[in-house]
Structure 1
Amino acid sequence: MVDFMSVFVWTVFILSLIGNILALSLMPHYKEANKYNAYIKLLFSQFVMDLIFAITTFVCRINVIAVSGYLSYFLHFFKDDGLSYEFYDACVCFYIITVYANLSFTTTNVVSRYLCVTNIIDFTHKHFVIGILLTIMFPIGWTTVYFFAFDRTIPRNFVYLENLKANDIDPEFNINSFGVGVEFFRLTSMVLILGYVVYISINCLIIFIAYRKLSIYLKEMTGHLSTETRKMNNEFMRIFIIQGIAPLFCSGIPLFIYILSIFTDAAWKKDGGTYVLISVGMTPFINSFLFLIILSKNRALFKRRLRRIGIDIDSRVVTLTT
């Protein structure tokens, strides 16, 4: 029988790799005076982060199971391998760090674009380093709480034991299926879970404010910008607004529904956390393909590459040339 969820995860992973590698391959075309400015370095750092995120969400793919008032986290590919508690905990926490940092990079890029275009600051390599540090410091600090929040007193095969009590035979779990768990209704757990909702909301709000301010500025400066500059700024604006909305649809709304399902004891509560994390894993390929498709400069570069191998593309037809 075809495991459609695994097919979906593989597809997203492959698209994420392709999209971000292609995006990074365009970096040499964004040099100015034969060197990269600080903003371009920051812009393309997001695709490096997206690659790390895509690989992490695939290799450390997590199943989240809600049962008997606990949330149990299982590494999909390694749950039966007898990994030590500390290593298992560290893998789960590293996964969570990449989830937070991935969203932070989008926000940092939008704010940096606003600061560069409006000339509020002279964006230098010092600002590039500060931007990277600020982007990753909070996710690392916040996830440290996760590391110590997991309850070591519950059996690591807790889900299997609870399934036995309920006479619920789940082929995904056996006596050796180890994970880490946390009691859902503890204050720490609620702060961590609801904290992510707040984190998404704050980042989306920052993106919206920066987008709004940049939009007003560009309208005021329309007569002072070249046609090409206006075009590129408008294309970046479209990318940023979609990137601001995407986290809400990919993680914020599914997570909110999942939390409600736990409080209301709805059927989706047992496996809903797994679906939320799989949905979050879509952001790397969304970010890269937005960059590749929306910017006309990138489309022109890829048309040129395709012509070199005998494929000619225009707006209406694809032809093979010899």
Structure 2
Amino acid sequence: MESVHVFAPATVANVVCGFDILGFAVEAPGDEVVMRVTSKPGIIISKITGDNGRLPLNPEKNTVSVSVRHYLQSVGRNDLGLDIELHKKMPIGSGLGSSSASTVAGLFAAKTLLGDTRDAAELLPFAIEGERMACGHGHADNVAPALMGGFVLVRSYEPLEVIRLPFPKDLYCAIIFPEVDVPTREARQIIRNKVALKDAVTQWGNIAGLMSGLYTNDIDLMGRSMQDVLIEPVRAMLIPDFYKMREIAMDNGAVSFGISGSGPSVFAFTKDANTAHKITQNIQQHLADIKIASQTYVSGINGVGPKILGQH
């Protein structure tokens, strides 16, 4: 095999009440990487599309090439030459794991070219290094679901332990990306370092309820549990009309509503695709009324993670 074309999905991190420990993958949008073996050792990035010139072609500064380099070092293949094309099919800075999708697509492409049959989850440490470069914090709640598909729980970072979770097969996700700037680093800096015990107890109960809903296919229990008393009240201030968007979603049949990652994207869970479409349309219209452009997506849960689109 000399070349491979890989898709990796966008992800929703935190899932409202699970800050830095929960995430899930969606079927759309996502990013794509085309990777080719070359005769000269080393990694080059020959093309990036869809980024409006925002991402570096320098392989020392791009999350895809940096994570792939760590992977090649681990398997003793520094002699390999790779040409990378990155095709951004999702917005940067959206709160949908844009850097994670690119990184995972690159790692999965390299794994495929090498004929490496290990579980994709074993690529997680290398993907985390890409996240560290992208946002200054090596968290796994985006890269883990992008790699593993479905819902994941990051039980521990030291040592790293990530658990695949079941989920209702008829669960749909409505995603709205208001085109405003909420940088991840800044969104993390405004979070409180200390919380009241009463708030912590409330949060623990909600996380446990969400987990129970996932294991019992109880979407209504999931919805009741997806309340965040720690992070959302602070981050919501950075997202225009957040509470109005939540009101619209809930009035139109959503079972839950919250911020995707650090925002500005928001998402709602629904029990069917039609309800999800209605929610995205109504929120998009509201944003247009207040002069904010937006992009919307309706998706089921992606249970497989990255996939090969072509190979030669």
- Alignment TM-score, normalising by the size of structure 1: 0.26
Q: Going by fraction, where is strand more abundant, 1 or 2?
A: 2
Q: Relative to total residues, which structure has the larger helix share, 1 or 2?
A: 1
User: Highest Rg: 1 or 2?
Assistant: 1
Q: TM-score, normalised by structure 2?
A: 0.26
